[in-house]
Amino acid sequence: AQTVTQSQPEMSVQEAETVTLSCTYDTSESDYYLFWYKQPPSRQMILVIRQEAYKQQNATENRFSVNFQKAAKSFSLKISDSQLGDAAMYFCAYRIPYTGANSKLTFGKGITLSVRP
């Protein structure tokens, strides 16, 4: 079974600085998708960034980028120029690209990021 591990329950960063959130996963599949979701205090789940395993290039979305190491099964999220609005819980998630019963998303336990002004 696929598992997603976020070993750091909490992190803190100074406003305007850079922070990296770690995630590792375990799978026997060669093709899959990885995601980072953000959950602010409003509880809404917001997709931050997505990475397809077959792509070697790391995904970027404005201030958010990933470091995808397929051999190491590592998928970290880097937030540059941290802003107060980045304070939230962040979840790493994994999914395989099959239809039907295997289409579910598996989540890590999450990491709470606080941003110091």
Partner 1 sequence: NAGVTQTPKFQVLKTGQSMTLQCAQDMNHNSMYWYRQDPGMGLRLIYYSASEGTTDKGEVPNGYNVSRLNKREFSLRLESAAPSQTSVYFCASSEQGEVGELFFGEGSRLTVL
In the complex, the smallest distance separating the C-beta of residue 102 from partner 1, rounded to whole angstroms, is 9
Lay out the site mask for partner 1 across 36-65 (x = CB under 8 A, - = otherwise): ------xxxx-x--x---------------
Helix H, strand E, coil C: the string for 37-87 is EEECCCCCCEEEEEEECCCCCCCEECCEEEEEECCCCEEEEEECCCCHHHC
Q: What angle do CA 66, 38, 113 make, to 5 degrees?
A: 85
> Which residues, 11 to 40, sit near partner 1 by CB under 8 A?
33, 35
In the complex, the smallest distance separating the C-beta of residue 117 from partner 1, rounded to whole angstroms, is 26
Q: How many Å separate Cα 83 from the centre of its chain?
A: 18
Counting residues that bind partner 1 (by CB under 8 A) gives 24
Lay out the site mask for partner 1 across 76-115 (x = CB under 8 A, - = otherwise): ---------------x---x-x-xxx-xxxxxxxx-----
Q: Are 117 and 16 in contact (CB under 8 A)?
A: no
- Note the residues at the interface with partner 1 (CB under 8 A): 6, 9, 33, 35, 42-45, 47, 50, 91, 95, 97, 99-101, 103-110
